[in-house]
A and B are shown apart, each in its own frame.
Chain A
Amino acid sequence: MNGLEMTYPATRRSLPLWHMLSGSGKLALLILLLMAGVALAAPLLCRHSHRIASGPALAAPSLVHPMGTDELGVDLWAQIAYGARISLLVGAATALLAGVGGAAVGIVSGYQGGLADRLTMRLIDILLVLPDLPVMIVLAAFFGPSVTTIIVVLAAFSWTATARIIRSRVLILKERRYIKAAELYGAGTLYLLRRHFLPEIFPLAAVGMIRLAGRAIVAEAGLSFLGLGDPTSRSWGLIMHHALSFKGIYYTDFWKWWLVFPWLALTLVVTSLALLGRDLEKLADPRIGRS
Chain B
Amino acid sequence: MTTKRLLLFSLLLFLVAACDREPSERPKAQDSTQKCGAAPLVIRLEGGDWGYPSPFAHYPRGPGGFKMALIFDSLLERDEKGLIPWLAEDYTIQENGLVYRFKIRKNVRWQDGKPLTPEDVAFSFKYADRHAATWSYIHESVQEVSADGDTVMVRLKEPLALMLDSLGRTRIIPKHIWEKVERPKEFTTPEATIGCGPYLLTEYSKEHGTYRFQANKDYWGPKPRIDSIEFVPVSEPILAYENGELDMIAVTPDLLPRFTADPANKIVRNPAFWGYRLLLNQKDLELLRDVRVRRALVYAINRSELVEKIERGAGVPGSLGILPPDHIMAVGDIRQYPFDPAAARTLLEEAGLHATGGEALRLLPSGEKVSMELLCSGQEVRMAELLRQWLAEVGIEITIRSVDGKTRDDRVRRQAYQLAIIGHGGWGGDAGYLVSHLVGDVFTQDASPSASGTAGLVNPELLGLLVQQNVEVDPEKRRQLIGEIQRKAAELVPEIPLYYTAGRTMYRPAKYDGWINMFDHHSLQHSKLSYLERTGPAAIRR
- CB within 8 Å of B: which residues of A? 51-53, 57, 71-73, 141, 144-145, 227, 231-232, 242, 247-248, 251-252, 254
Contacts and interface: CB of A to CB of B under 8 A. Distances in A.
Given A145-B402, A227-B378, A53 B389 contact: yes
A51 B381 CA distance: 13
Interface string B377-409: 010011011100100000000001011100000
Given A72-B309, A72-B382, A232 B400 contact: yes
Given A57-B308, A231-B402, A251 B254 contact: yes
A251 B238 contact: yes
Contacts of B28: none
A195 to B, nearest CB: 46
B265 interface: no
25 contacts: A52-B389, A53-B389, A71-B309, A71-B310, A71-B382, A72-B382, A72-B385, A72-B386, A141-B404, A144-B403, A145-B402, A227-B378, A231-B378, A231-B400, A231-B402, A232-B381, A232-B384, A232-B385, A247-B252, A248-B238, A248-B254, A248-B255, A251-B238, A251-B254, A254-B254
Given A72-B385, A248-B252, 9 more contacts: A53-B309, A53-B389, A71-B309, A145-B402, A231-B400, A232-B400, A232-B402, A242-B382, A248-B238
Nearest to B403: A144
Given A251-B254, A251-B255, A231 B312 contact: no
Contacts of B385: 51, 72, 232
B258 interface: yes
Given A247-B252, A248-B238, A252-B254, A71 B402 contact: no
Q: Which 10 A-B residue pairs are closest in the complex by CB-CB distance?
A: A231-B381, A231-B402, A252-B254, A247-B252, A232-B400, A248-B255, A248-B252, A227-B378, A52-B389, A57-B309
**Residue from A72, A231, A254 with most neighbouring chain B CB atoms (10 Å):** A231
Contacts of A247: 252
A141 to B, nearest CB: 8
B376 to A, nearest CB: 9
A130 to B, nearest CB: 23
Nearest to B383: A72
A265 B403 CA distance: 28
Contacts of B312: 57, 71
A104 to B, nearest CB: 36
A57 B309 CA distance: 7
Nearest to A242: B382
B257 to A, nearest CB: 9
Nearest to A230: B402
Contacts of B254: 248, 251-252, 254
Contacts of B252: 247-248
Nearest to A253: B254
Contacts of A254: 254
B203 to A, nearest CB: 29
A242 B384 CA distance: 14
A231 to B, nearest CB: 4
Contacts of A145: 402
Contacts of B384: 232
Nearest to B393: A52
Contacts of B238: 248, 251
Nearest to A241: B378
B263 to A, nearest CB: 20
Nearest to B250: A247
Contacts of A52: 389
Nearest to A245: B379
A71 B382 CA distance: 9
Interface string B291-317: 000000000000000001110100000
Contacts of A72: 309, 382, 385-386
Contacts of B402: 145, 231-232
Contacts of A227: 378
Nearest to B381: A231
Nearest to B399: A232
**Residue from A51, A52, A73, A141 with most neighbouring chain B CB atoms (10 Å):** A52
Interface in B325-384: 378, 381-382, 384
A52 B403 CA distance: 22
A52 B388 CA distance: 10
A252 B382 contact: no
B310 to A, nearest CB: 8
A73 B389 CA distance: 12
B309 A73 contact: yes
**Residue from B258, B378, B384, B400 with most neighbouring chain A CB atoms (10 Å):** B378
A252 B389 contact: no
A237 B445 CA distance: 40
Interface in B399-427: 400, 402-404
Nearest to B378: A227
Contacts of A144: 403
Contacts of A251: 238, 254-255, 258
A227 B403 CA distance: 11
Contact of A252 (B255, B378, B400): B255
Contacts of A252: 254-255
B162 to A, nearest CB: 34
Contacts of B310: 71
A53 to B, nearest CB: 7
A165 to B, nearest CB: 26
Contacts of A51: 385, 389
Contacts of B400: 231-232
A144 B403 CA distance: 8
Contacts of B255: 248, 251-252
Nearest to A53: B389
A62 to B, nearest CB: 19
Nearest to A49: B389
A252 B378 CA distance: 24
Interface in B55-84: none
A128 B382 CA distance: 38
A169 to B, nearest CB: 31
B513 to A, nearest CB: 25
A9 B55 CA distance: 77
A254 B253 CA distance: 13
**Residue from A51, A141, A145, A248 with most neighbouring chain B CB atoms (10 Å):** A248
A73 B385 CA distance: 12
A227 B404 CA distance: 10
Nearest to A254: B254
A231 B402 CA distance: 7
A51 B308 CA distance: 18
A86 B254 CA distance: 31
Contacts of B404: 141
A254 B403 CA distance: 28
Contacts of B308: 57
A121 to B, nearest CB: 28
B37 to A, nearest CB: 40
A253 B378 CA distance: 25
A286 to B, nearest CB: 31
Nearest to A71: B309
A227 B381 CA distance: 11
Nearest to B377: A231
B314 to A, nearest CB: 10
Contacts of A232: 381, 384-385, 400, 402
A231 B379 CA distance: 10
A57 B382 CA distance: 13
Interface in B254-275: 254-255, 258
A52 B309 CA distance: 13
Nearest to B254: A252
